[in-house]
């Protein structure tokens, strides 16, 4: 079987000590993604500490290398299944993780939420569930780890499954599967477990393979216009196809105005007679009417974009100086840029605890998260982050500097 081209980005979250590093180490080891020398290093380190293989050492080791600048790739860990490549996105504290997710420097397509079978649900389990919900992540598998510490008890597993499902449901997440494992002994990680015979579901690796990649090419067209040029008397607009595809001869719509245009030609550097461009491609398009930066070219598909002056969003405040309700900000989404202000701060969260610190607040401070309403001077075209990420996230600027990032609800 040929590997899929796309590598799926996953994030592994859970309360401290519930086994994230061990699970990552296991996934790397059991999928043969570790060089022999690394395995030997962990073996020696484990023996020195008087243990069998201690997989969490691997992550400590990688972390140490990262800090000393040895590993080139600083934030990502890779492994393969028979089906595809996986990238594990680092979830370094909530603050950084949230910021990276919101500003789009990392985009998790699926999540594993880890739970210690002996300890059960803890504060961070709840917070992480909340964060996954807030980010609109819908592909979530729950992993109940350290089953070896509870005698592989089916009763314990069922009780915890019920409890975590209730919590996740509150945040609109339906876990795709709940898997009992022992990361330490590699049970149900990449191979089924003898001790967990009562469980008939997928292993962690199979559950990952069952997730689907975030496919933007089979969605409706979104082409934010970046620039327009006149070349040899012809109007050419350039941009990146963010979702769907566009073909020569297509009848498309340009938003927010709603005019109809037809595609006379598609232009790419050093290529002739192009019939089609799809998500991810940067192209020039020649239309029968002019189009300008900030407009969004769309097709009538199943995803209908929202055209609105009111944005309801979760934002992450990145600036050191705080924001007072009503101050002017510039809203930037794809190539759209519109002035506006935050009109309502419905909820303000402490970024470390994800606890609500204020309802109907007046101010947002450094690194705080808030659920807000933004009022714009002019309509913009947006989608839900979950459907088309590039059209569902935005940056807020003050005097040309980014001060916040957000996800449209
Ligand atoms: P993290 O903080 O979530 O990354 O947790 P670690 O992976 O560092 O694990 C914390 C401790 O739990 C370590 O001592 C691990 O050896 C131990 N641990 C992890 N998984 C298992 C497991 O499946 N069974 C048992 N008995 N211990 C485990």
Highest mean pLDDT of the ranges 31-40, 76-85, 250-259, 399-408? 250-259
Q: Are 50 and 155 in a shared domain? A: yes
Model confidence band, residue 53 (pLDDT cutoffs 50, 70, 90): confident
Residue 370 lies in a domain: yes
Q: Ligand 1, atom 6: nearest CA belongs to which residue?
A: 19
Q: Which atom of ligand 1 is nearest to the CA of 14?
A: 3
Is 80 exceeded by the pLDDT of residue 315?
A: yes
Residue 2 lies in a domain: no
Q: How far, in Å, is the centroid of ligand 1 from the Cα of 402?
A: 39
Q: Are 291 and 310 in a shared domain? A: no
* Most informative mutation of 15, 49, 183 for ligand 1 (most atoms within 8 A of CB): 183
Q: Ligand 1, atom 18: nearest CA belongs to which residue?
A: 19
Residue 1 lies in a domain: no
Percent of the chain residues topping a pLDDT of 70: 91
How many whole angstroms separate alpha carbon 403 and alpha carbon 185?
46
Domain count, the chain: 3
Show the ligand 1 pocket: residues with CB < 6 angstroms: 14, 16-22, 54, 56, 145-146, 148-149, 182-184
What are the pLDDT digits (tens) for 236-250?
A: 999 999 999 999 999
What are the pLDDT digits (tens) for 250-278?
A: 999 999 999 999 999 999 877 888 899 99
Q: How far, in Å, is the centroid of ligand 1 from the Cα of 182?
A: 9
CATH number of the domain where residue 269 is located: 2.40.30.10
Is 80 exceeded by the pLDDT of residue 120?
A: yes
The pLDDT of residue 106: 62
Q: How far, in Å, is the centroid of ligand 1 from the Cα of 184?
A: 7
R_g over Cα of the chain:
24
Q: Ligand 1, atom 2: nearest CA belongs to which residue?
A: 17
Q: Which atom of ligand 1 is nearest to the CA of 183?
A: 23
Q: What is the distance, to the nearest Å, from the Cα of residue 285 to the centroid of all Cα atoms in its chain?
A: 30
Q: Are 12 and 60 in a shared domain? A: yes
Q: Which residues form the domain of 262?
A: 222-299
SS3 188: coil
The pLDDT of residue 74: 39
What are the pLDDT digits (tens) for 210-233?
A: 998 877 778 899 999 999 988 787
Model confidence band, residue 207 (pLDDT cutoffs 50, 70, 90): very high
Q: How many residues appear in the chain?
A: 409
Is 90 exceeded by the pLDDT of residue 56?
A: no
Is residue 351 a contact partner of residue 369, using CB atoms and an 8 Å limit?
A: yes
Last-in-domain residue among 187, 210, 233: 210
Q: Which atom of ligand 1 is nearest to the CA of 149?
A: 26
Query: Cα–Cα distances in Å, from 274 out to 66, 265, 278, 287?
Result: 44, 7, 11, 14
Across 32-36, 312-316, 358-362, 371-375, least confident range: 32-36
Q: What is the distance, to the nearest Å, from the Cα of residue 33 to the centroid of all Cα atoms in its chain?
A: 23
Is 50 exceeded by the pLDDT of residue 72?
A: no
Q: Ligand 1, atom 9: nearest CA belongs to which residue?
A: 19
Kindly report the pTM of this predicted structure: 0.75
Residue 111 lies in a domain: yes
How many whole angstroms separate alpha carbon 333 and alpha carbon 283?
19
Q: How far, in Å, is the centroid of ligand 1 from the Cα of 185?
A: 10
How many whole angstroms separate alpha carbon 276 and alpha carbon 268?
11
Q: How far, in Å, is the centroid of ligand 1 from the Cα of 286?
A: 58
Is residue 407 a contact partner of residue 400, using CB atoms and an 8 Å limit?
A: no
* Most informative mutation of 29, 42, 56, 116 for ligand 1 (most atoms within 8 A of CB): 56
Q: Are 289 and 337 in a shared domain? A: no
Residue 216 lies in a domain: no
* Bridge partners of residue 77, in order along the sequence: 88
SS3 262: strand
Q: Which atom of ligand 1 is nearest to the CA of 15?
A: 3
Buried-state track 126-149, b at ≥16 Cβ within 10 A, e below 16: bbbbbbbbbbbbebbbbbbbbbbe
Last-in-domain residue among 253, 283, 299: 299
Which residues lie closer than 8 Å to 189 by C-beta, 6 or more apart?
23, 26, 27, 30, 181, 183, 203, 204, 205
Q: Which atom of ligand 1 is nearest to the CA of 24?
A: 7
Model confidence band, residue 91 (pLDDT cutoffs 50, 70, 90): low
Please, what is the end-to-end C-alpha distance for the chain in angstroms?
39
Q: How far, in Å, is the centroid of ligand 1 from the Cα of 22?
A: 6
How many whole angstroms separate alpha carbon 11 and alpha carbon 128?
11
Q: Is 206 left (phi over 0), alpha (psi -120 to 50) or beta?
A: alpha
Residue 88 lies in a domain: yes
Is residue 388 a contact partner of residue 334, using CB atoms and an 8 Å limit?
A: no
Residue 333 lies in a domain: yes
CATH number of the domain where residue 136 is located: 3.40.50.300
E runs forming strands in 121-192? 140-145, 177-180
Q: Is 27 left (phi over 0), alpha (psi -120 to 50) or beta?
A: alpha
Q: Are 236 and 350 in a shared domain? A: no
Q: Are 141 and 258 in a shared domain? A: no
Please name the helix (run of DSSP H) or strand (run of DSSP E) that holds residue 349, with its range, or none. Answer: strand 336-349
Q: Are 231 and 322 in a shared domain? A: no
Is 80 exceeded by the pLDDT of residue 352?
A: no
Q: Are 59 and 169 in a shared domain? A: yes
Q: How far, in Å, is the centroid of ligand 1 from the Cα of 56?
A: 7
Q: How confident is the prediction for the chain on average, in pLDDT?
A: 87
What are the pLDDT digits (tens) for 167-188?
A: 999 888 999 999 999 999 999 9
* Most informative mutation of 49, 179, 184 for ligand 1 (most atoms within 8 A of CB): 184
Q: How far, in Å, is the centroid of ligand 1 from the Cα of 61?
A: 15
Number of H helices, E strands in the chain: 8, 24
Q: How far, in Å, is the centroid of ligand 1 from the Cα of 211?
A: 25
The pLDDT of residue 30: 93
Q: Are 245 and 385 in a shared domain? A: no
**Ordered alpha helix ranges (H), 2-134:** 20-30, 36-48, 56-67, 94-103, 123-134
Residue 215 lies in a domain: no
Please name the helix (run of DSSP H) or strand (run of DSSP E) that holds residue 85, with its range, or none. Answer: strand 85-89
How many whole angstroms separate alpha carbon 246 and alpha carbon 298?
9
Q: Are 163 and 273 in a shared domain? A: no
How many whole angstroms separate alpha carbon 68 and alpha carbon 97?
21
What are the pLDDT digits (tens) for 184-200?
A: 999 999 999 999 999 99
Query: Cα–Cα distances in Å, from 135 out to 291, 335, 342?
Result: 33, 22, 20
Q: How far, in Å, is the centroid of ligand 1 from the Cα of 83?
A: 27
Is residue 78 a contact partner of residue 7, using CB atoms and an 8 Å limit?
A: yes
Q: Are 321 and 354 in a shared domain? A: yes
Q: Are 119 and 235 in a shared domain? A: no
Last-in-domain residue among 246, 273, 299: 299
From the list 191, 2, 178, 190, the residue with the least C-alpha distance to 85 is 2
């Amino acid at each position: 079987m040929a590997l899929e081209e796309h590598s799926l980005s996953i994030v592994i979250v859970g309360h401290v000590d519930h086994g994230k590093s061990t699970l990552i180490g296991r996934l790397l080891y059991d999928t043969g993604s570790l060089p022999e020398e690394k395995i030997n290093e962990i073996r020696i380190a484990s023996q020195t500490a008087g243990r069998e293989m201690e997989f969490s050492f691997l992550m400590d080791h990688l972390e140490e290398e990262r800090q000393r600048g040895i590993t080139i790739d600083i934030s990502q860990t890779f492994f393969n299944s028979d089906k595809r490549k996986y990238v594990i996105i680092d979830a370094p504290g909530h603050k950084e993780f949230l910021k990276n997710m919101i500003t789009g420097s990392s985009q998790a397509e699926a999540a594993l939420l880890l739970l210690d079978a002996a300890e059960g649900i803890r504060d961070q389990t709840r917070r992480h569930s909340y964060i996954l919900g807030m980010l609109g992540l819908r592909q979530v598998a729950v992993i109940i780890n350290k089953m070896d510490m509870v005698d592989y008890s089916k009763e314990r597993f069922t009780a915890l499954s019920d409890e975590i499902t209730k919590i996740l449901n509150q945040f609109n997440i339906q876990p795709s599967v709940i898997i009992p494992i022992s990361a330490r002994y590699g049970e149900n990680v990449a191979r089924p477990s003898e001790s967990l015979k009562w469980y008939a579901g997928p292993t962690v690796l199979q559950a990952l393979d069952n997730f689907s990649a975030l496919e933007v090419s089979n969605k409706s067209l979104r082409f934010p216009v970046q620039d327009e040029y006149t070349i040899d008397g012809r109007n050419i607009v350039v941009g990146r196809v963010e979702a769907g595809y566009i073909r020569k001869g297509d009848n498309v719509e340009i938003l927010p105005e709603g005019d109809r245009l037809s595609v006379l030609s598609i232009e790419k550097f050093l290529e002739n007679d192009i019939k089609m461009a799809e998500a991810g491609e940067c192209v020039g398009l020649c239309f029968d009417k002019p189009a300008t930066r900030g407009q969004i070219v769309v097709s009538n598909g199943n995803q209908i974009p929202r055209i609105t002056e009111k944005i309801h969003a979760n934002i992450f405040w990145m600036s050191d100086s705080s924001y007072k309700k009503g101050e002017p900000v510039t809203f930037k989404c794809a190539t759209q840029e519109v002035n506006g202000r935050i009109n309502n701060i419905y909820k303000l969260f402490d970024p470390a605890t994800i606890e609500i610190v204020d309802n109907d607040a007046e101010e947002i401070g450094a690194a705080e998260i808030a659920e807000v309403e933004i009022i714009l001077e002019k309509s913009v075209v947006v989608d839900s982050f979950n459907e088309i990420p590039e059209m569902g996230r935005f940056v807020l600027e003050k005097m040309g500097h980014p001060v916040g990032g957000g996800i449209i609800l």
